[in-house]
């Protein structure tokens, strides 16, 4: 059975070009980047090259790139690194749990947190953020693109409001990486972002790698204490192979975004959506009216439990998700979907399909053959669907 992988928001495969770039730093150039001998200098040069590659991706200075172990650490560093007891922070109800759980912990330490709601499309409206500002607001953290629905936030407007209130602005851009241009330069869409999070394994780099962009005028307290690595912002010996892989992946993403690749990917996503909606009744696309990243669609299938459908599809060779992979096995419905106003029942009937630049039209066509039969089979077992069909 040839498997079809449509769960790229959970993780992406390691590209061969990325693996080949990493290989020498496992076996030959294994020096510590802090050592001054030749092996150390080779490692340091590789780390510096990767930092420059990511800086070009973000249109920032290389010195503003801090290497971390991934999105969760970067999000936590952004929050814990600038907030102190008595400060006020604003975030949204649809953030990744790396933000939400960190915010809950900060509350227990004396930081005041406001969780602003979203509209039915999963968007934070600028006037809602404006109304939440307080004199002691120190930080606003709003994600760029949602991991479940793909909805893109009006990030420029939100960040400008934060700055008008003398607050710093951080964005979790993990799901925007490799899908949207990330320009923090004075003329870029992210020009007001003071900090930005990226994760390597979402852009075809290895797991356990990530970055936090920190604008040069932002003072950041480290979470780890040890050596003076990363300009004293993140102690610990650098993961040289992982950093090299992240840098190579950033280069490939930067080049791909200059091509017609994003438009082709969006066309495949639309083909999948239209095929599902035309073949299967009582379905709908969450955040359909919002701007979304090209690869993501969140679709509900009424009268079906998403978990049962996911398992049925997995047995047919199709890998998808019921929402965030970080919440796999959770008994509660998606906090993102319920924040958008979906009922618990509909939230539990939702699947996320997340494509990548490796997805083919043939794979989409195969999904459109597999999915309707799987839904029909499960609905045949559903009392609510039988009752609905009989009454029509």
- Which residues belong to the active site? 326
Query: What HEC string does 309-352 produce?
Result: HHHHHHHCCEECECCCHHHCCCCCCCHHHHHCCCCHHHHCCEEE
Tell whether the torsion through CA atoms of 27, 8, 121 and 96 is positive or negative: negative
Q: Is 89 helix (H, G, I), strand (E, B) or coil?
A: strand
Q: Which of 264, 321, 260 is nearest to 295 (CA)?
A: 264
What's the CA angle centered on 47, arms 15 and 143, to 5 degrees?
65
How far, CA to CA in Å, does 160 sit from each of 143, 150, 168, 187, 237? 15, 22, 10, 13, 36
Q: What is the dihedral of CA 279, 282, 288, 292, to 10 degrees?
A: -60
Q: Is 92 helix (H, G, I), strand (E, B) or coil?
A: strand
Q: Which of 78, 115, 333, 38 is nearest to 198 (CA)?
A: 78
Residues whose CB is less than 8 angstroms from the CB of residue 72 and which lie 6 or more positions away in sequence, other chains included = 98
Query: Could you tell me the two tokens for 56?
Result: 């070009």
What's the CA angle centered on 142, arms 141 and 145, to 5 degrees?
145
Q: Distance (Å, rounded) from C-alpha 65 to C-alpha 373?
A: 48
The bridge status of strand 350-354 relative to strand 296-301 is antiparallel
């Amino acid at each position: 059975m040839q498997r079809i992988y449509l769960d790229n928001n959970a993780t992406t495969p390691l590209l061969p070009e990325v693996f080949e770039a990493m290989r020498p730093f496992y076996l030959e150039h294994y020096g510590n980047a802090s050592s001054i001998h030749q092996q150390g200098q080779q490692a340091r040069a590789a780390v510096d090259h990767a930092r420059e590659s990511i800086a070009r991706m973000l249109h920032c200075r290389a010195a503003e790139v801090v290497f971390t172990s991934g999105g969760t650490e970067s999000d936590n560093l952004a929050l814990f690194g600038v907030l102190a007891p008595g400060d006020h922070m604003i975030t949204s109800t649809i953030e990744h749990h790396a933000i939400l759980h960190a915010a809950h912990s900060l509350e227990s330490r004396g930081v005041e947190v406001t969780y602003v709601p979203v509209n039915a499309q999963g968007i934070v409206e600028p006037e809602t953020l404006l109304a939440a500002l307080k004199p002691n607001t120190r930080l606003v953290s709003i994600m760029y693109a949602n991991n479940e629905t793909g909805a893109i936030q009006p990030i420029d407007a939100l960040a400008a409001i934060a700055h008008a209130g003398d607050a710093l602005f951080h964005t979790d851009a993990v799901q925007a990486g490799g899908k949207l241009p990330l320009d923090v330069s004075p003329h870029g869409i992210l020009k007001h972002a003071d900090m930005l999070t990226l994760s390597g394994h979402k852009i075809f780099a290895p797991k356990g790698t990530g970055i936090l962009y920190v604008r040069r005028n932002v003072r950041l307290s480290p979470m780890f204490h040890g050596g003076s690595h990363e300009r004293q912002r993140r102690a610990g010996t650098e993961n040289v192979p992982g950093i090299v892989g992240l840098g190579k992946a950033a280069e490939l993403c930067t080049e791909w975004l200059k091509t017609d690749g994003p438009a082709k990917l969006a066309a495949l996503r639309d083909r999948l959506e239209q095929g599902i909606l035309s073949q299967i009744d009582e379905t709908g696309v969450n955040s359909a009216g919002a701007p979304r990243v090209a690869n993501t669609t969140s679709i509900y299938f009424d009268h079906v439990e998403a978990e049962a459908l996911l398992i049925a599809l997995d047995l047919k060779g199709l890998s998808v998700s019921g929402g965030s992979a970080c919440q796999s096995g959770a008994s509660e419905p998606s906090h993102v979907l319920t924040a958008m106003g979906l009922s618990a029942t509909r939230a539990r009937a939702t699947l996320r399909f997340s494509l990548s630049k490796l997805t083919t039209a043939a794979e989409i066509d195969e999904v459109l053959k597999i999915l309707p039969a799987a839904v029909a089979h499960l609905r045949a077992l559903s009392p609510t669907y039988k009752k609905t069909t009989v009454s029509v």
